[in-house]
Amino acid sequence: MPETFKAILVSRDADKKQSVAVTDLTEADLMEGDVTVAVEATTVNYKDGLAITGKAPVVRHWPLVPGIDFAGTVLSSDHPDWRKGDKVVLNGWGVGETHYGAFAGRARVNGNWLVPLPEGMSAHDAMAVGTAGYTAMLCVMALERHGIVPDRGPVVVTGAAGGVGSVAISVLSSLGYHVVASTGRSSESRYLTDLGASEVISRDELAGPGKPLAKERWAGGVDTVGSTTLANVLSMTTYGGAVAACGLAGGMDLPATVAPFILRGVSLLGVDSVMAPKQLRLEAWRRIGSDLDHAKLAALSTTIGFDGIIQAAHDIVDGKVRGRIVVDM
Ligand code: NDP
């Protein structure tokens, strides 16, 4: 009898009605790939919430095991870079969207998609960072490449109490930035200042229709919200500043004007984690190892088991999750 492992499977019927179930799979059920990994930890990201609830068309292969990131140990490999026993991390590359993903005891993937688990980090730690944290680091690196260093002025982080926001605040404050955290949950103010935010503002200040140019408040931004929030963040960015945009928690639209770009030389920096080239990933994970205060990781993450994934998926799309959720498999 082949060994079985638990997996979450999303399916849809002839009327395209989506359902989700916990099932048992064997390695023979997994999709093509040259490395098989024992998944030791994973996370529930906003995108995983969308995949499981069906609130947005994240899943593009049916049925599918969702879960866009994992950390684990290589069980077998036909790839030159990986051997049995290697500790690895995976983020993105369509895993959990078009390729069977992390919400299963095992995953079979293309070895080119894997990066080594950073030195000194456990699978659990890496997933406390997860795709959200790795994306936050990509945003910080984008700002740095644009010359937005701490001396240039404050940096605003929107969707502050979420996963990307929480890690962005921790990293930016460790690097010496003055961080302005924008949140819709005033009850999380203490959590945000403990992570390193110097100021906490209400998301309402950035939510309404804004002016093309408003009072200059920050040199940079990490925006996870999009829509009017991003438009307002841009309108309040100082001359020559830059905003790294990675999310759409508030909407996919961008009702902005070109005024900040053409009158203040502000730059909008797009950040994508899914197809980011390997060199950038390796650099981001190296920086996570060096620039993220590991003590803060424990403060910003909650741990659940495999059986809690589906509920957590609903909670994250309802905006009820604080920081990061780690799933110990
Ligand atoms: P979370 O759900 O953990 O955080 C999102 C936060 O946004 C919430 O905690 C909340 O913060 C705020 N928010 C939620 N709804 C609204 C709303 N309607 N208006 C304004 N603010 C809102 O998600 P993640 O941090 O994991 O992801 C954040 C975004 O980044 C998502 O859109 C996700 O899809 C995207 N993302 C993109 C990646 C990429 O490669 N580009 C990779 C990873 C994530 P608060 O309560 O503090 O206001």
Give the distance (Å) from ligand 1 centre to CA of residue 315.
Answer: 12
C-alpha–C-alpha distance, residues 128 and 117, integer Å: 13
> Comparing C-alpha atoms, which of 141, 147, 322 is closest to residue 246?
141
CA 316 to centroid of ligand 1, rounded, Å: 9
pLDDT confidence of residue 287: 93
- The residues pairing with 326 across neighbouring beta strands, listed in sequence order, are 43, 303
pLDDT given for residue 82 in this prediction: 98
In angstroms, rounded to a whole number, what is the distance separating the alpha carbons of residues 21 and 9?
5
Q: Which residues pair with 39 in a beta bridge?
A: 72
Q: Which atom of ligand 1 lies nearest, measured to the CA of 185?
A: 46
Q: Tell me, what's the pLDDT at 323?
A: 85
For the Cβ of 181 lying below 6 angstroms from any atom of ligand 1, the answer is no
First and final C-alpha spacing in the chain: 22
Separation of CA 292 and ligand 1 centre (Å): 20
The CB of 228 under 6 Å from ligand 1? The reply is no
* Radius of gyration (C-alpha) of the chain in whole angstroms: 20
Residue 14: CB atoms within 10 Å? 5
pLDDT for position 120: 87
C-beta of 184 in contact with ligand 1 (< 6 A): yes
Helix 123-145 with 278-291: angle, nearest 10 deg: 110
> Phi, psi at residue 232, to the nearest 5°?
-70, -40
Helix (H, G, I), strand (E, B) or coil at 104: strand
Per-residue tens of pLDDT for the chain, all 329 residues: 789 999 999 999 989 899 999 999 999 999 999 999 999 999 999 999 999 999 989 999 999 999 999 999 999 999 999 999 999 999 999 999 999 999 999 999 999 999 999 988 999 999 999 999 999 999 999 999 999 999 999 999 999 999 999 999 999 999 999 999 999 999 999 999 999 999 999 999 999 998 999 999 999 999 999 999 999 999 999 999 999 999 999 999 999 999 999 999 999 999 999 999 999 999 999 999 888 888 888 888 999 999 999 999 999 999 888 889 999 99
Structure tokens at 14: 């002839």
Q: For position 297, what pLDDT does the model report?
A: 85
Residue 46 Cα to ligand 1 middle (Å): 7
Residue 216's CB is within 10 A of a number of other CB atoms, namely: 16
Q: How much distance in Å is there from the Cα of 45 to the middle of ligand 1?
A: 9
Alpha-carbon span 236 to 116, nearest angstrom: 39
Task: Count Cβ atoms within 10 A of the Cβ of residue 199 and give its class: 0-12 exposed, 13-18 middle, 19 or more buried.
Answer: middle
Q: What is the pLDDT of residue 293?
A: 85
